[in-house]
Amino acid sequence: MNIKKITFALLVSIILFSCKKDITDATTSSTTTPPVVTNANVNTWIHQMMSNYYLWSTNMPALSKTDVNLDPMKYFTSILYDYGNTDRFSWIDSSSSNLINQLNGINKILGVKINAFLIDNTKTDGDIALVIAYVLKGSPAEKSGIKRGDIILSVDGQRVTAKNYSTILQNETLTLGFGLFSNNTFGVIDKNLKLTKEELQTNPVLADTVINWSGKKVGYFSYTQFLSSFDDSLRAIFARFKSKGVNELIVDLRYNGGGYVSSSNLLTNLIVKDIGARENNVMNKKVYNAAYTEYLTKQNDKTSFITKFQNEPNNIGNLNRVFILTSNSTASASELIINNLKPFMEVILVGEHTYGKNVGSFTITDEKKRWNYGLQPITFKITNSVDQSDYGTVNGFIPNYQVIDNVLPYRLLGDPSETLLNAALNVIGAVAYKSNSTLQSSKMTRKFAQPEAFSDNRNLDRHDMFEKPPVHR
């Protein structure tokens, strides 16, 4: 009996000990601190992703020859190939959601693009006049009544100067002091507006109209960014052009730094001559690094390499040529339009040389969600149907008619007297220039403080050409 009691007591003790151990283990497991994410972890992942997709992956240093303990933002830059020269374009954001918003035109902004002019044409280090180049629809700036041609001379009571003009609009709430331009002189006026930036989805259509000029019906539209969410807006514009019998076309891309390749291809389909004859023929071709090329080839993914023309019912159909208004800010997906069309019709460039970007990217994020970095490395080069892609230099495409948008006062976009538009119209019908001109006052040429227009949020000034991200290998 005693032996049975002793055995029972031992069994109970063993069971109690086991239960206590299970409870202790469960408690310990539930409170275990997650593994610490180090720079080395992140940077090893960055190197692997870049090895898979980066166009110049064979020019990257080996992982063992890099400092994986660097801040990931610095590490990314450290492994780029000839950064600032060969690769002028790859970038990283510490927030992948922020990066994706930027690419889709969602930013906190006033909604203005600006050209900076010298107050005194002889002093590059003096005061600056910020002249509004355009205002985005629905933005705080538009709601306040600001329009193209308005002039800002002070911000928060501080004069705009050569030293501060590039950063003076970065605060979230700003008080803008306005000026005027008269008799070739900038002057202060008693007008101040206090504005607060708002998160806004960019509407890239600034203006569209049909102009009767020299016996022609000229379609004109200004587009600031290739956003796939506005593809139907492009189709609607061309439907109006087609219904009104447009037989000349002017596309204003002077402020367009790029966007989705798919949207650029759509515009190509809407413009190209004889779309019926082009359908299912090659529009452009992409070139990837060796590793990604091999992977796509194994997947038999031919569409990743070649884009073909697709029939768009709203293609105008009767165009022998197209005029494109350009500047140093015309980049990436905007330049792709030019290159796509050149083998098939006359493309006449009016303005300044373009930015020079014939390469594109896609967004890379961590699918396991261990960290939030977003990578936007260059992953492909693009050529047209006849393998031409010779505009990837700092001079980009050279205009057929060089015209600088530095004549004040500015006219509204779509006004036939506006500098670049008028130059294109003058090519269409030079004889009609005087009789149809709407010039009412003298215009003066002024000097830029910098050649490119810029935005109140510099994220809007990126030069991008991108496609949807791949399924990571």
Task: Please measure the distance between the N-terminal and C-terminal CA atoms of the chain and give it in whole angstroms.
Answer: 69
Paired residues of 158 in beta bridges: 155
Nearest CA to 90 out of 107, 76, 105 is that of 76
* pLDDT for 443: 74
More confident residue, 436 or 85: 85
Q: Which one, of 348, 266, 345, 261, lies nearest residue 309 by Cα? A: 266
CA 205 to each of CA 145, 148, 252: distance values in angstroms, whole numbers, following the listed order: 18, 14, 10
H or E element in which residue 277 lies: helix 275-278
Mean pLDDT of 250-257: 97
Instruction: Judge contact between 419 and 439, C-beta under 8 A.
Output: no
In the prediction, which pLDDT does 473 show?
A: 52
Query: What are the structural domains, with CATH classification, of the chain?
Result: 39-87 (no CATH), 109-201 (2.30.42.10), 205-358+380-443 (3.90.226.10)
> How high is the pLDDT of residue 431?
54
From residue 206, how far is each of 100, 225, 412 by CA, in Å?
23, 10, 10
Q: 14 or 231: which carries more pLDDT confidence? A: 231
Is the pLDDT at 188 greater than 70? The verdict is: yes
C-alpha 446/C-alpha 444 separation (Å) is 6
**Mean pLDDT for the chain overall:** 90
- Torsion 399-403-406-408 (CA) sign: negative
The pLDDT tens digits for 189-226 are: 999 999 999 999 999 999 999 999 999 999 999 999 99
Are 125 and 162 a contacting pair, CB within 8 Å? yes
pLDDT at residue 132 tops 80 = yes
Q: What is the pLDDT of residue 35?
A: 65
Does position 240 have pLDDT exceeding 50, yes or no?
Answer: yes
C-alpha–C-alpha distance, residues 88 and 84, integer Å: 4
User: What pLDDT shows up at residue 460?
Assistant: 81
pLDDT in the model for residue 18: 39
pLDDT tens track for 115-125: 999 999 999 99
Predicted confidence at residue 468, as pLDDT, reads: 75
Q: Enumerate residues 6+ apart whose C-beta is below 8 A from 277.
A: none
- Output the DSSP codes for 176-212: EEEEEEETTEEEEEEEEEEEE-EEEE---EEEEEEEE
135-162 tens-digit pLDDT: 999 999 999 999 999 999 999 999 999 9
